[in-house]
Amino acid sequence: EMFGQLTSGLESAWNKLKGEEVLTKENIAEPMRDIRRALLEADVSLPVVRRFVQTVSDQAVGTGLIRGVRPDQQLVKIVNDELVKLMGGEVSELVFAKSGPTVILLAGLQGVGKTTVGAKLALYLKKQGKNCMLIAGDVYRPAAIDQLVILGEQVGVPVYAAGTEIKPADIARQGLEEAKKKNVDVVIMDTAGRLQIDKGMMDELKEVKRVLNPTEVLLVVDAMTGQEAAALVTTFNVEIGITGAILTKLDGDSRGGAALSVKEVSGKPIKLVGRGERMEDLEPFYPDRMAGRVLGMGDVLSFVEKAQEVVSIDQYEFPFFSLQNLLFDMTARIEQMRQEDAEELQKKIMSAKFDFNDFLKQTRAVARMGSMSRVIGMIPGMGKVTPAQIREAEKSLKVMESMIEAMAPEEREKPELLAESATRRKRIAQESGKTEQQVSQLVAQLFQMRVRMKNLMGVMEGGSLPALNN
Ligand code: GDP
């Protein structure tokens, strides 16, 4: 498991804060030692670890607890945010030339996966509709040229090769001319890797760079080499000037040091990561997702973010006024909805169209999560919820579900129909074997949820609760 050791090292930090009520200089001392040890074991460089631990400590002690959030949860959030920053914050996109072909020069030591990356990158860009060409520039290893030609065929991208009896800078010149003739969008040049950095290699790269005037100079580094990767990026940047790094072999049991250190140490972002031997295994480097993987605590994070949001919305009452509503709120986050679903739901809420179908979907999402007690355990102030209360809540979700199932499609879509007609409510009560009062409550609850969700979205006008007509 990638980052497995780091993740479990950090876990012991959170665990030491369980039962605490605030974050103080004293009670974070031990957890911070765990964090420090975990990062060092992950092969993050010492100065980076020092700065990181200092920043996190300052924040933990200096900022008050978010209302309703436990100290350990808040520390998870602080560490997460700092990890994201450490890795550069935002995803760092590839830059394309405004006119003429975009030229990407790949550099790196031997065996790091540079040739493979060339072909992977060509496929990656081809999928974005770019017309690509590869240039085989590793003239010291005939096998490398053959390898690139084979990989190029595999991904359906032409490879410019001119054998080994030619200077890399000349191949670069010829290849670029060829690319211009063919109106290629992106040219990717593979270069020779040595086992170690040496002057010959650097001089050659400088010359190739001068010839190509590349848009991107990317250093390919192996994640397995930990902080050494960060040092290499620094050296190459100082020597030849690079625009970023590509981190390979993140699928191996990399301890994380490289991913965490490169940006901080070298000032250059990791732009892409390789996560396997297949040609498809190359993707952008997302600092937030990477931090998420390191921590493995997505649900805590979304909870704290939620609490932060809640605090910033004045009219929002906290704690929540009913267990069910609270669970629905939580689910919307935890369920990691597909983007489209989340957007659709948001639109519905904004236009007050949130109906019983959506209600049902959320109810079922809660059920799918299985253990409601796990969710409740994460909710501050809910620690005293008894198993009996949880069973009660689960039962009431079932009751709601059976009432919604008894509704006609148009009633599900237009809850107003039910608010307006006692006859309809009576029919649903009969069909679902519940009381009319229960049906009325359910209808009222839906409108309450509309109002609350609208408020949550920051819409001030909100809606008003319709009175139930008889
Ligand atoms: P080069 O000497 O830098 O050109 O390295 P190659 O491209 O020949 O790759 C060296 C080895 O690493 C090959 O066996 C690749 O299949 C493997 N490799 C490259 N990238 C990755 C990766 O992201 N994950 C894994 N597991 N293997 C990789």
ipTM of the complex: 0.97
Residues 246 and 108 occupy one common structural domain: yes
Give the integer Cα–Cα distance in Å for 240 and 222: 19
95 in a domain, yes or no? no
Residues 211 and 250 occupy one common structural domain: yes
Provide the β-strand partners of residue 133: 187
- Token digits of residue 51: 């700065």
Share above pLDDT 90 across residues of the chain, in percent, rounded to a whole number:
56
Share above pLDDT 70 across residues of the chain, in percent, rounded to a whole number:
78
Residues 86 and 119 occupy one common structural domain: no
Tell me the CB-side half-sphere exposure of residue 391, using CA atoms within 13 A.
Answer: 3
Query: Which atom of ligand 1 is found nearest the CA of 108?
Result: 3
441 in a domain, yes or no? yes
97 in a domain, yes or no? no
Residues 84 and 216 occupy one common structural domain: no
**Quick check: CB of 193 below 6 Å from ligand 1?**
yes
- Token digits of residue 45: 């460089």
CATH code: domain of residue 9: 1.20.120.140
Residues 126 and 72 occupy one common structural domain: no
Query: Which atom of ligand 1 is found nearest the CA of 281?
Result: 23
What letters, b where the CB count within 10 A reaches 16 and e where it falls short, cover 229-255? bbbbbbebbebbebbbbbbbbbeeebb
461 in a domain, yes or no? no
- Model confidence over 50-94: pLDDT tens digits? 999 999 999 998 777 777 788 999 999 999 999 999 999 999 999
Output the residue whose Cα is nearest ligand 1's atom 11. 113
Residues 169 and 269 occupy one common structural domain: yes
Query: Which atom of ligand 1 is found nearest the CA of 114?
Result: 3
**Quick check: CB of 274 below 6 Å from ligand 1?**
yes
Going by pLDDT thresholds of 50, 70 and 90, the confidence category of residue 365 is low
**Quick check: CB of 251 below 6 Å from ligand 1?**
yes
Residue 288 DSSP SS3: helix
Q: What is the mean pLDDT of residues 94-108?
A: 95
Going by pLDDT thresholds of 50, 70 and 90, the confidence category of residue 147 is very high
Query: Which atom of ligand 1 is found nearest the CA of 116?
Result: 7
Distances (CA, A) of 119 to 151, 166, 170, 274, 345: 6, 22, 21, 12, 40
Give the integer Cα–Cα distance in Å for 122 and 120: 5
| Of 44-58, 357-371, 374-388, the least confident | 374-388
- What pTM, to 2 d.p., does this model score? 0.69
**Quick check: CB of 279 below 6 Å from ligand 1?**
no
- Token digits of residue 162: 């001119």
Residue of 121, 250, 277, 282 best suited for mutating to test ligand 1, as the one with most atoms within 8 Å of CB: 277
Total number of domains in the chain: 3
Element (H, E) at 217: strand 216-222
**Quick check: CB of 276 below 6 Å from ligand 1?**
yes
Element (H, E) at 400: helix 387-405
Output the residue whose Cα is nearest ligand 1's atom 13. 113
**Quick check: CB of 120 below 6 Å from ligand 1?**
no
Going by pLDDT thresholds of 50, 70 and 90, the confidence category of residue 454 is low
Furthest CA-CA distance within the chain: 93
Residues 275 and 320 occupy one common structural domain: no
Q: Please check whether residue 212 is in contact with residue 105, taking contact to mean a CB–CB distance below 8 angstroms.
A: yes
Whole-number Å distance, alpha carbon 114 to ligand 1 midpoint, is 7
Residues 130 and 165 occupy one common structural domain: yes
233 in a domain, yes or no? yes
- Model confidence over 153-190: pLDDT tens digits? 999 999 999 988 999 999 999 999 999 999 999 999 99
296 in a domain, yes or no? no
Whole-number Å distance, alpha carbon 65 to ligand 1 midpoint, is 46
Handedness of CA 206, 212, 213, 214 (dihedral sign): negative
| Of 133-137, 178-182, 216-220, 459-463, the least confident | 459-463
Tell me the CB-side half-sphere exposure of residue 396, using CA atoms within 13 A.
Answer: 17
| Of 193-197, 243-247, 259-263, the least confident | 193-197
Q: What is the mean pLDDT of residues 338-356?
A: 62
Q: What is the pLDDT of residue 344?
A: 63
Residues 114 and 259 occupy one common structural domain: yes
Output the residue whose Cα is nearest ligand 1's atom 20. 113
267 in a domain, yes or no? yes
Q: Please check whether residue 16 is in contact with residue 71, taking contact to mean a CB–CB distance below 8 angstroms.
A: no
